[in-house]
Chain A
């Protein structure tokens, strides 16, 4: 075994292969940083290129990309507050809050280091795949997989901030979005409105881009300044190393949670990250900072998500069952190079296995180092007028979304979800639970039906199920109890102090009343419509949607009613900045409409003119130069992904290439 470890290092340490690994890392970092374009986009863009090189180099390139995605997307999550994937949502919540307090460097540093540790743990579990990881994967039956997804969702929904009703309603909305498409347990298409585009359901990158990136983009363009508002001071790295060291055991434990996430196909990082986050919360005495910039939240989430994406490779290599979407593409690459994953391959070509372990380990360490190095330069970008960055960012998002099915449905879904995200953002409804509910709805439903069909109800007594339940649910229940007691005490204090006004009217409204009204109304209508539609589904296709729709309808009705009462009590509608963002929202929607009419190639120059001259107030000359460059980059993106940009319904200007 030892000689294999060394000979595998020999395999990797050849200039061409190291170069491939490095190129893969760079691609992974760029795609990790671009909001919404995660591992799948990076790996599928690299895929055509790996066929130009030998097998080991090609695999090293993909591994380089896979290993650094979750390290690099820490930067976007912290600086912009838009997570690249549901697995980075905790980082975005806590990290962006820290960045606003001027502690971006602390958030980023701890995030990078925790990611690195997570990656190394992933490499470690890969190296003991045959004796340890394999049996573990087989020990997790369908009931355990279901429990894992369920627990992940519970954690995400319970950690949504102070307004529980709104947070739960958001998670229900996520479930509703997640059940669009084919039902796993019955031959039923749900909420597809006769569109074959919706038959596979909405795609995760588009939901993440729409809900977060489009909405952030709108408000940043409208505010006219840089991302940070005022110059963002990065601060020194020193403290982040100390904080990292103080939380080393938390990060190790989170990485182990993350490893288990990798063993669970389809659920993966979205659940394990939230479970790790929940673990951080239950193991922290002072919970007040969670949601407002708690470094332990970042440490646990980043440790877990990177460990998951690497340990996704364990079921891939041992059973050729990919643990996640990026691993699925990696599996295809293995086949193409003539490696046929299975226990036999792992035991018969240990060199390959250890080469993979080394690549992952090396990329994890180097990735973190590079992230430290490039962050100061990226932080500087946050001071540039955002309209300048928005132009290329929006085009990249369009290209990334369009990669999904290459139909106009992708663009439409992106914009529709963008409006939803914008409404939610301005109404103060958290969007992370939507994302988690969206991701976990399908696997939960699938595993639930498989579990009950295979095991009846005996699964509830399986030891694995009980262990997962006891490890995670019990502390959660205890915490909830403690939280309730504290709340009651606080409430008693408050009544003792005889506050003259009720808290609702005393607090200045932080969000536009009309936006909250509209958002609540949209949710009531959506849930209400879904409820009517749902009654026509087959019984096996009805359970999961009903778990989202029924509580969702009640909660959104409650939110709507509460808002009406508040407005009545205040006697006026609060009007805040949201209204100023409407022109930008309208501009981006018109871009979609114009693109539909005359195609991407003609609509984009109009968008650039509007963003650069109209919003960023560039002079025509510079705008022309910069616009040309951005246009070139966008066309280059399409060319690189071998896509033809969306053509117009009325006319289409083909590019000369």
Chain B
């Protein structure tokens, strides 16, 4: 439990004024942001997970970016994040003062090539990412105790989700990859209502992102009303979504579960599709994009600031509860791998579009 420290703001304000005194000195990286304001555009409503994460990062960015800029979180909801991202594409200047902070809700429509998308996400420059892991769990009534039992459930598996082309996509793709026999009931309002349906016994397999899993599902696991199965995984050093989720080192990743069930690592278009969508949803779950053409100088500044935030004991302390304790990923780590996920091969794209059309009746 923490209560935002108002001293922090006063401190950064004082430093801002101090920095202002040196404004006459030649512009160097040290005071790049002195006296400037960064607008962090969140294409979702106030109070949502992305907004909360943005507000959480706000004071750390203000403190660690050179010149201590003021960071304003600005919400631009609508069109399932497409409106805000389109606005960003059309209006943001590549001066490092406007950032788009968003999730796979923005990248999935881009990857799938939806008509409403007017932004070119792969051409933008990611400044940093915050991983946003997820855990799949089942009801003990299914008799499933570990991933090995996934195909021998005592009862038909029912999964509650929002929409196939939205944030359910990576989990549905993992079910597809593992060839699970389950019924997906789509149309819930959000992951919270879907979890309530699980608690009421209306569904028996569900997933939650890390913060909600920590606050809601951990106590269910302790009480024996939920059995954790696997996480989406994390991108390892080899660039494959095979590593364990940093927040849940005890749970296997989808990659490992496949290996356990089939005796060989996953491959083929099913895996490539899961990896592309899974990486943008989990590993690069919340990503800050700078407009296309933002100079390297700005990226370098963020690179340093992100390292400083990760090293900040206060960040380490508070991030545990707020966002699952993930380290921020700097641009050097994010850029290549994210761009690859945002531009999958035509084969993967066709597979995704066909699967969505035939199994979930989604016409893109």
Are these two chains actual partners, yes or no? yes
Binding site for B on A (CB under 8 A): 43-44, 47, 51-56, 137-138, 141-142, 182, 184-187, 194, 196-197, 199-200, 265-266, 315, 319-322, 328-333, 335-345, 349, 404-407, 446, 449-450, 453-455, 538, 540, 642
Partner of B52, one of A54, A185, A335: A335
A52 touches B158 (CB 8 A): no
- Binding-face segment, B93-101, B237-245, B270-278, B355-363: B355-363
B196 touches A538 (CB 8 A): no
Binding site for A on B (CB under 8 A): 1-4, 6, 9, 45-48, 51-52, 55-56, 72, 74, 76-80, 82-83, 86-87, 115-116, 158, 160, 163-165, 183, 185-190, 192-193, 195-197, 199-200, 202-203, 211-212, 214-216, 219, 318, 321-322, 356, 360-363
Instruction: Kindly provide the distance from the CB of A402 to the nearest chain B CB, expressed in whole angstroms.
Output: 12
Known: A197-B78, A319-B196, A340-B214. A141 touches B202 (CB 8 A): yes
B219 touches A344 (CB 8 A): yes
A330 touches B356 (CB 8 A): no
Q: Which residue of A lies closest to B162 (CB)?
A: A184
Question: In the assembled complex, which residues on chain B have CB atoms less than 8 Å from the CB atom of A266?
Answer: 189
A-B contact pairs, 22 of them (CB 8 A): A51-B4, A51-B55, A53-B6, A142-B197, A185-B187, A187-B163, A187-B165, A187-B361, A197-B79, A199-B78, A265-B189, A315-B196, A319-B199, A319-B216, A332-B48, A335-B52, A337-B3, A337-B4, A338-B321, A340-B214, A342-B215, A454-B202
B196 touches A453 (CB 8 A): no
Question: In the assembled complex, which residues on chain B have CB atoms less than 8 Å from the CB atom of A450?
Answer: 160, 185, 187-188, 197
Which of A47, A142, A322 is the most central at the interface, judged by chain B CB atoms within 10 Å of its CB?
Answer: A142
Q: Which residue of A lies closest to B218 (CB)?
A: A344
Known: A52-B9, A196-B86, A450-B187. A44 touches B46 (CB 8 A): yes
Given contacts A338-B318, A453-B183, A454-B203, 7 further A-B contacts (CB under 8 A): A47-B47, A138-B196, A185-B187, A335-B52, A338-B3, A405-B76, A405-B79
Known: A336-B52, A340-B211. A319 touches B192 (CB 8 A): yes
Question: In the assembled complex, which residues on chain B have CB atoms less than 8 Å from the CB atom of A137?
Answer: 196
Question: In the assembled complex, which residues on chain B have CB atoms less than 8 Å from the CB atom of A332?
Answer: 46-48, 51-52
Question: In the assembled complex, which residues on chain A have CB atoms less than 8 Å from the CB atom of B193?
Answer: 265, 321
Q: How far is the CA of A397 from the CA of B26 in the complex (A)?
A: 47
Q: How far is the CA of A453 from the CA of B51 in the complex (A)?
A: 32
Q: How far is the CA of A314 from the CA of B192 in the complex (A)?
A: 14
Partner of B158, one of A328, A336, A454: A454
Question: In the assembled complex, which residues on chain B have CB atoms less than 8 Å from the CB atom of A540?
Answer: 361
A330 touches B47 (CB 8 A): yes
Instruction: Kindly provide the distance from the CB of A462 to the nearest chain B CB, expressed in whole angstroms.
Output: 11
Which of A336, A405, A406, A642 is the most central at the interface, judged by chain B CB atoms within 10 Å of its CB?
Answer: A336
A405 touches B2 (CB 8 A): no
Q: How far is the CA of A349 from the CA of B55 in the complex (A)?
A: 23
A329 touches B189 (CB 8 A): no
Q: How far is the CA of A54 from the CA of B6 in the complex (A)?
A: 8
A187 touches B164 (CB 8 A): yes
Q: How far is the CA of A338 from the CA of B52 in the complex (A)?
A: 10
Q: How far is the CA of A299 from the CA of B164 in the complex (A)?
A: 44
Question: In the assembled complex, which residues on chain A have CB atoms less than 8 Å from the CB atom of B322?
Answer: 335, 338
Question: In the assembled complex, which residues on chain A have CB atoms less than 8 Å from the CB atom of B86?
Answer: 196
Question: In the assembled complex, which residues on chain B have CB atoms less than 8 Å from the CB atom of A56?
Answer: 3
Question: In the assembled complex, which residues on chain A have CB atoms less than 8 Å from the CB atom of B158?
Answer: 454
Which of B1, B51, B165, B318 is the most central at the interface, judged by chain A CB atoms within 10 Å of its CB?
Answer: B1
Instruction: Kindly provide the distance from the CB of A60 to the nearest chain B CB, expressed in whole angstroms.
Output: 13
B361 touches A538 (CB 8 A): yes
Q: How far is the CA of A494 from the CA of B130 in the complex (A)?
A: 75
B197 touches A196 (CB 8 A): no
Question: In the assembled complex, which residues on chain B have CB atoms less than 8 Å from the CB atom of A335?
Answer: 52, 211, 322
Question: In the assembled complex, which residues on chain A have CB atoms less than 8 Å from the CB atom of B1?
Answer: 55, 337-339, 349
Question: In the assembled complex, which residues on chain A have CB atoms less than 8 Å from the CB atom of B160?
Answer: 450
Question: In the assembled complex, which residues on chain A have CB atoms less than 8 Å from the CB atom of B197?
Answer: 141-142, 450, 454
Instruction: Kindly provide the distance from the CB of A184 to the nearest chain B CB, expressed in whole angstroms.
Output: 4
Q: How far is the CA of A455 from the CA of B192 in the complex (A)?
A: 20
Question: In the assembled complex, which residues on chain A have CB atoms less than 8 Å from the CB atom of B203?
Answer: 454
B3 touches A446 (CB 8 A): no
B80 touches A200 (CB 8 A): yes
B187 touches A446 (CB 8 A): yes
Instruction: Kindly provide the distance from the CB of A263 to the nearest chain B CB, expressed in whole angstroms.
Output: 10
Question: In the assembled complex, which residues on chain A have CB atoms less than 8 Å from the CB atom of B187?
Answer: 184-185, 446, 449-450, 453
Question: In the assembled complex, which residues on chain A have CB atoms less than 8 Å from the CB atom of B77?
Answer: 200, 405
Question: In the assembled complex, which residues on chain B have CB atoms less than 8 Å from the CB atom of A341?
Answer: 215
Enumerate the 3 nearest inter-chain pairs by beta-carbon distance, A residue then B residue, closest first: A332-B47, A187-B362, A321-B192
B211 touches A321 (CB 8 A): no
Q: How far is the CA of A453 from the CA of B45 in the complex (A)?
A: 29
Instruction: Kindly provide the distance from the CB of B93 to the nearest chain A CB, expressed in whole angstroms.
Output: 14
A186 touches B361 (CB 8 A): yes
B79 touches A196 (CB 8 A): yes
Q: How far is the CA of A192 from the CA of B3 in the complex (A)?
A: 43
Q: How far is the CA of A70 from the CA of B256 in the complex (A)?
A: 53
Known: A184-B187, A265-B193, A266-B189. A342 touches B2 (CB 8 A): no
Q: How far is the CA of A646 from the CA of B282 in the complex (A)?
A: 36
Q: Which residue of B lies closest to A325 (CB)?
A: B45
Which of B4, B52, B116 is the most central at the interface, judged by chain A CB atoms within 10 Å of its CB?
Answer: B4
Q: Which residue of B lies closest to A448 (CB)?
A: B187
Q: How far is the CA of A441 from the CA of B340 in the complex (A)?
A: 41
Q: Which residue of B lies closest to A344 (CB)?
A: B219
Q: How far is the CA of A265 from the CA of B196 in the complex (A)?
A: 11
B80 touches A331 (CB 8 A): no
Q: How far is the CA of A341 from the CA of B47 in the complex (A)?
A: 13
Known: A337-B3, A446-B189. A320 touches B321 (CB 8 A): no
Q: How far is the CA of A265 from the CA of B318 in the complex (A)?
A: 30
